């Protein structure tokens, strides 16, 4: 920097380090100075309008008294600017805007919604968002579920019933499906036999003698019939699966290649049992949201 | 003091610089301690519903911090419409008053967790923590399979005592216990008793059986117990819409 060693016309701060290291004392650029003054003016206006200064146990609330919302008892309340009241106001405006559509959804029966394409489209598009935020983590975004863990909602087999009312009950209150394990009460041979019987119900090949023994266990010692019904079609008040159709929810029979693997899958369920929990949504979602989801899920899986 | 003597004394310059820049923070923070409505009062039938963690939940929280879950997850639902629709009611200051340090976070690689309690089943959490992509195909969350190892809870009393020193009302004698019964009700107060910490921890792990393994108390039990509690301490159906706006 030796070439710029001295610029005699410009003032310096008067300090010198290392003999000749000096600091210029230039005036601030004008544009900068005026911007600075402008921020000061802005701050003062801001203090007057918005909550700003602490005073004792409270604070100045500012003069922007422009947030108006409706309180629980139906009165309107106007308050100083704050994000919580602003949110309340925005939510109320949004609710009013949606009210026209939601009113109909609330008032109409499921069948009526189905018969009106416009309402049906509205319900479905709203349901897609709700489903993605709340249900997809388990039932997957398409609703096809995860074999063994989360039931497929696209097929027309329902553990807990596929009518609108049943589905609504499922979503609102949640469900716990519990299939007990039998490894303590039945021998491996018996479990093998009863599994053969179960497989035969949906048209899978199985040893005829074993099926016969299995049938006796199913309605006798095993106690399977008490839950799955004597016809093994399942009972939707306890979510016991229908064992006579080709649709499986826990034992991955359809995904197994060989007959041995199919049997293994069924035996595993009978041996170890399975308890699965569908959470209740009524505390988290509104009645209207649950209704919309019910409509959506019902038509996903050819509802009853 | 002359300007030059400050500029030529690095130590003094540092101290004075720190004082000057801390003023900016202090004027924003200190008044909040004196403003009465900073932390909302949340009482139902005369009892506070926001309470400190039980020993098991506390260990779960420690693991949440150890694993750095806060680097991807916030626990702070802001009062905006999009967040209210996706996550639920905005977070209250009161909801993190017993958190040291709080887990508000500042980065959302994954979703906010402030109200995840009760949203999923225990089974889902276990599966998701061990192998997130087995339930959410497109997830980029890391696998945490080692959470299935046994939980070390030997020092849980010391952890509670440490928190007690910074003002969390865990109890260590009858008077403190009675005060907690008054404040939170008996069921909660029992879990805040330092002297019964191990016993309570084992009991909660056994009755909750969060990880589906009955024979062992694992880190998974603790973290799932913690996740299932998040955001569930305030029953918003008991308060009017505008109630918590009145605190601002």
CB contact under 8 A, B84 and A87: yes
Asked if residue A226 and residue A198 are part of one domain, the reply reads: yes
Q: Give yes or no for B14 touching A (CB within 8 A).
A: no
Residue A303 in this model has a pLDDT that exceeds 70: no
CB contact under 8 A, B242 and A71: yes
Does A167 fall in a domain? yes
Determine the pLDDT at residue A2: 46
CB contact under 8 A, B80 and A87: yes
Q: Do residues B73 and B84 touch, judged by C-beta distance below 8 A?
A: no
Does A75 fall in a domain? no
Does A56 fall in a domain? no
Q: Nearest C-alpha of chain B: how many angstroms from A255? A: 17
Report DSSP letters for chain A, one per residue. Answer: -GGGS--TTS-EEEEEETTTEEEE-PPPPHHHHHHHHHHHHHHHHHHHHSS--EETTEE---S---EEEE-TTS-EEEE---HHHHHHHHHHHHHHHHHHHHHHHHHS-HHHHHH-HHHHHHHHHHHHHHHHHHTHHHH-TTS--BTTTB--SSSS--SS--SHHHHHHHHHH-EEEEE---TTTS-HHHHHHHHHHHHHHTT----HHHHHHHHHHHHTTT-HHHHH-TTS---TTTTPPPSSSS--SSS-TTT--SHHHHHHHHHHHHHH-EEEEEPP-TTTS-HHHHHHHHHHHHHHTT--
CB contact under 8 A, A88 and B241: yes
Does A199 fall in a domain? yes
B119-167: pLDDT as tens digits: 999 999 999 999 999 999 999 999 999 999 999 999 999 999 999 999 9
Identify which of A152, A132, A151 has the alpha carbon closest to the alpha carbon of residue A141.
A132
Q: Where are the beta strands (DSSP E) in B116-239?
A: none
Confidence of residue A1 (pLDDT cuts 50, 70, 90): very low
Residue B179 in this model has a pLDDT that exceeds 70: yes
Confidence of residue B1 (pLDDT cuts 50, 70, 90): low
Mean pLDDT of B205-219: 92
Say how far apart CA B175 and CA A61 lie, in whole Å.
41
Does A166 fall in a domain? yes
Place of tokens 């009482």: B43
Say how far apart CA A126 and CA A134 lie, in whole Å.
13
Would you call A256 exposed, middle or buried from its count of C-beta atoms within 10 A (0-12, 13-18, 19+)?
middle
| A chain contacts of residue B241, beta-carbon cutoff 8 Å | 71-72, 88
Would you call A95 exposed, middle or buried from its count of C-beta atoms within 10 A (0-12, 13-18, 19+)?
exposed
Say how far apart CA A120 and CA A36 lie, in whole Å.
57
Of B84, B237, B248, the CB nearest to A82: B248
Residue B117 in this model has a pLDDT that exceeds 70: yes
Helix (H) or strand (E) holding B29: helix B10-34
| A chain contacts of residue B120, beta-carbon cutoff 8 Å | 137-138, 279
Q: Do residues B116 and B82 touch, judged by C-beta distance below 8 A?
A: no
Say how far apart CA B171 and CA B186 lie, in whole Å.
13
| A chain contacts of residue B34, beta-carbon cutoff 8 Å | 54, 56-57
Residue B8 in this model has a pLDDT that exceeds 70: yes
Say how far apart CA B119 and CA B110 lie, in whole Å.
15
Asked if residue A156 and residue A186 are part of one domain, the reply reads: no
Of B86, B90, B121, the CB nearest to A87: B90
Q: How far is CA A171 from the centre of its chain?
A: 12
A179-192: pLDDT as tens digits: 999 999 999 999 99
Does A221 fall in a domain? yes
Asked if residue A265 and residue A184 are part of one domain, the reply reads: yes
CATH number assigned to the domain comprising residue A251: 1.10.760.10
Token reading at A112: 């009526």
Token reading at B246: 């009145």
Mean pLDDT of B197-211: 95
Q: Do residues A58 and B36 touch, judged by C-beta distance below 8 A?
A: yes
Would you call A174 exposed, middle or buried from its count of C-beta atoms within 10 A (0-12, 13-18, 19+)?
middle
Interface test with A, best of B85, B242, B243, B244 (most A CBs within 10 A): B242
Query: What are the distances in angstroms from CA A114 to CA A104, B32, B108, B248?
Result: 12, 54, 39, 45
Token reading at B188: 């909660």
Say how far apart CA A193 and CA A217 lie, in whole Å.
8
Q: Do residues A143 and A132 touch, judged by C-beta distance below 8 A?
A: no
Asked if residue A150 and residue A285 are part of one domain, the reply reads: yes
| A chain contacts of residue B84, beta-carbon cutoff 8 Å | 87, 91
Asked if residue A184 and residue A238 are part of one domain, the reply reads: yes
Residue A3 in this model has a pLDDT that exceeds 60: no
Q: Which of A53-62, A70-79, B61-70 has the highest mean pLDDT?
A: B61-70
Asked if residue A185 and residue A266 are part of one domain, the reply reads: yes
| B chain contacts of residue A93, beta-carbon cutoff 8 Å | none
Asked if residue A261 and residue A123 are part of one domain, the reply reads: no
Does A151 fall in a domain? yes
Determine the pLDDT at residue A264: 94
Residue B99 in this model has a pLDDT that exceeds 80: yes
Interface test with A, best of B121, B127, B210, B244 (most A CBs within 10 A): B121
Identify which of B119, B126, B143 has the alpha carbon closest to the alpha carbon of residue A136.
B119
- Determine if the peptide bond prior to B117 is cis (ω within 30°): no
Residue A236 in this model has a pLDDT that exceeds 60: yes
A134-149: pLDDT as tens digits: 999 999 999 999 999 9
Residue A5 in this model has a pLDDT that exceeds 70: no
CB contact under 8 A, A54 and B34: yes
Does A135 fall in a domain? yes
Asked if residue A264 and residue A115 are part of one domain, the reply reads: no
Q: What is the C-alpha R_g of chain A?
A: 35
**Residue A148 belongs to what domain range?**
108-174+279-300
Asked if residue A192 and residue A133 are part of one domain, the reply reads: no
Asked if residue A264 and residue A186 are part of one domain, the reply reads: yes
Residue A203 in this model has a pLDDT that exceeds 70: yes
Q: Give yes or no for B118 touching A (CB within 8 A).
A: yes
Q: What is the pTM of this model?
A: 0.89
CB contact under 8 A, B124 and A137: yes
| A chain contacts of residue B4, beta-carbon cutoff 8 Å | 15
Q: Do residues A113 and A123 touch, judged by C-beta distance below 8 A?
A: yes
A67-124: pLDDT as tens digits: 999 888 888 999 999 999 999 999 999 988 888 888 889 999 999 999 999 999 999 9
Token reading at B149: 């190892």
| B chain contacts of residue A283, beta-carbon cutoff 8 Å | 118, 237
Mean pLDDT of B60-83: 97
Buried b (16+ CB within 10 A) or exposed e, A216-237: ebbbeebebeebbbeebebbbe
Asked if residue A288 and residue A274 are part of one domain, the reply reads: no
Q: What percent of chain B has pLDDT over 90?
A: 90
Asked if residue A238 and residue A295 are part of one domain, the reply reads: no
Say how far apart CA A156 and CA A79 lie, in whole Å.
53
Into how many domains does chain A fold?
2
Say how far apart CA B192 and CA B203 lie, in whole Å.
14
Which residues, 6 or more positions from B45, have their beta carbon under 8 angstroms from its beta carbon? none
Q: Nearest C-alpha of chain A: how many angstroms from B225? A: 15
A285: left (phi over 0), alpha (psi -120 to 50) or beta: beta
Q: What's chain A's average pLDDT?
A: 91
């Amino acid at each position: 920097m030796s070439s710029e060693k001295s610029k005699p016309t410009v003032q310096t701060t008067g300090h010198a380090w290392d003999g000749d290291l000096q600091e210029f004392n230039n005036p601030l650029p004008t544009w900068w100075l005026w911007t600075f003054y402008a921020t000061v003016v802005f701050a003062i206006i801001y203090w007057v309008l918005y909550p700003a200064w602490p005073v004792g146990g409270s604070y100045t609330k500012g003069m922007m008294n422009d947030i108006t919302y409706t309180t629980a008892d139906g009165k309107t309340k106007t308050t100083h600017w704050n994000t919580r009241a602003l949110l309340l106001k925005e939510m109320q405006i949004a609710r009013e805007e949606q009210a026209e559509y939601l009113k109909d959804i609330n008032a109409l029966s499921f069948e009526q919604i189905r018969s009106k394409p416009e309402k049906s489209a509205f319900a479905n598009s709203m349901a897609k968002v709700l489903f993605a935020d709340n249900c997809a983590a388990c039932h997957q975004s398409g609703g096809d579920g995860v074999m063994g863990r989360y039931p497929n909602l696209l097929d027309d087999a329902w553990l807990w019933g596929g009518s609108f009312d049943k589905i609504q009950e499922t979503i609102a209150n949640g469900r716990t499906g519990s299939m007990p394990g039998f490894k303590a009460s039945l021998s491996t041979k018996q479990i093998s036999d009863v599994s053969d019987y179960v497989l035969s119900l949906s048209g899978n090949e199985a040893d005829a003698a074993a099926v016969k023994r299995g049938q006796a266990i199913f309605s006798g010692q095993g106690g399977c019939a008490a839950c799955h019904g004597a016809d093994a079609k399942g009972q939707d008040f306890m979510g016991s699966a229908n064992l006579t159709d080709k649709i499986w929810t826990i034992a991955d029979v359809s995904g197994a290649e060989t007959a041995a693997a199919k049997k293994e899958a069924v035996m595993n369920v009978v041996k170890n049992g399975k308890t699965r929990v569908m959470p209740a949504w009524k505390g988290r979602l509104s009645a209207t949201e649950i209704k919309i989801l019910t409509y959506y899920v019902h038509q996903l899986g050819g509802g009853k | 003091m002359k300007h030059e003597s400050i500029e030529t004394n690095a130590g003094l310059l540092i101290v004075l610089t720190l004082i000057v820049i801390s003023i900016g923070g202090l004027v924003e923070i200190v008044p909040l301690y004196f403003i009465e409505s900073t932390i909302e009062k949340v009482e139902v039938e005369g009892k506070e519903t926001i309470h400190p963690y039980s020993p098991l939940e506390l260990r779960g929280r420690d693991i949440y911090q150890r694993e750095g879950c806060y680097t991807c997850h916030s626990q702070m639902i802001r009062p905006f419409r999009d967040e209210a629709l996706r996550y639920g009611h905005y977070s209250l200051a009161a909801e993190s008053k017993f958190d040291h340090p709080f887990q508000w976070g500042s980065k959302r690689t994954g979703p906010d967790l402030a109200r995840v309690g009760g949203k999923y089943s225990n089974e889902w959490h276990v599966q998701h923590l061990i192998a997130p992509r087995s339930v959410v195909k497109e997830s980029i969350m890391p696998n945490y399979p080692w959470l299935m190892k046994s939980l070390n809870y030997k020092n849980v009393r010391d952890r509670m005592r440490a928190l007690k020193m910074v003002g969390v009302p865990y109890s260590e004698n009858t008077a403190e216990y009675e005060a907690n019964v008054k404040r939170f009700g008996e069921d909660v107060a029992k879990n805040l008793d330092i002297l019964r910490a191990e016993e309570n921890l084992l009991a909660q792990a056994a009755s909750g059986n969060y990880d589906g393994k009955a024979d062992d108390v694992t880190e998974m039990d603790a973290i799932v117990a913690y996740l299932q509690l998040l955001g569930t301490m305030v029953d918003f159906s008991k308060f009017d819409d505008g109630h918590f706006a009145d605190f601002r």
